[in-house]
Amino acid sequence: MLDQVALWFRNIVETMGYPGLFLLITLESTLVPVPSTLVMPFAGYLAGIGIFSLPVVLAINSSAALFGSGISYWVGAKGGKPFLLKYGKWFLVKPADLEKTEAAFAKHGKWVILIARFIPVVRHIISVPAGIARMPLRPFFFQTFLGSTLWGGFLIVLGYYLGENWEAVATKLKRFDLVIGVLVVLAILTLGIRFVARRRRERQNNADQT
């Protein structure tokens, strides 16, 4: 399955060239789970054999990540907060929870955005809560640029210098990514269950008091 996914993304890059690479990295910065550990080393490899230009690939990585993250931020800012304010009670989300999220991003947002670029699953979704919290755009885009340039640049340069060995190393990185991703999902589910349980206890206590 992993080999088929890798082949599909490779075909997109080989067939469409730079636009295909820009598209995949843009999607990787949204909610679409495009595996950066498979796409970017391959792009670096193509630069290493002269099909792509390394500076152009690096520039595409940074610009596409900014574009995709900007889309996700816009989705969170324009749709996420109004939706949660109106319907959040059905998901046990109170306006106070949104206020806490906004405060957290205001205080720690730049570090959250930077670190998130290196964490599987989180890197795909972090821009949406940043938009919901209306994190200031300047630090959001700066930290996104910094994190995506470091992470994506590392993978691209890795593929550039590994040559034909890029695929074996990228596959190992992807499997490691999958393990971390599963742990992250389990952690999110655990936090979600605890959040719902706490909300139910609060509602029950309020009902008992009345």
Q: 65-80 pLDDT, tens per residue? A: 999 999 888 888 887 6
pLDDT average, residue stretch 27-33: 82
- Residue matched to tokens 């499997």: 175
- Both tokens of 33, joined, read 């789970």
Evaluated on CA atoms 149, 101, 79, 196, the torsion sign reads positive
User: Shortest CA distance to 130 belongs to which of 177, 153, 98?
Assistant: 98
pTM, 2 dp: 0.70
Strand blocks (E) in the chain? none
The pair of structure tokens assigned to 125 is 């979704």
Mean predicted confidence (pLDDT) in 43-60: 92
Nearest to residue 117, comparing CAs of 83, 142, 93, 135? 142
Q: Which helix (H) or strand (E) holds 38?
A: helix 36-48
* Residues comprising the chain, all counted: 210
> What's the pLDDT tens digit per position in 123-174?
777 888 888 888 888 889 998 999 999 988 988 988 898 877 666 666 666 6
More reliable by pLDDT, 109 or 44: 44
DSSP string for 88-113: GGGGT--HHHHHHHHHHHHHHHHHHH
With a cut of 50, say whether residue 105 has pLDDT above it. yes
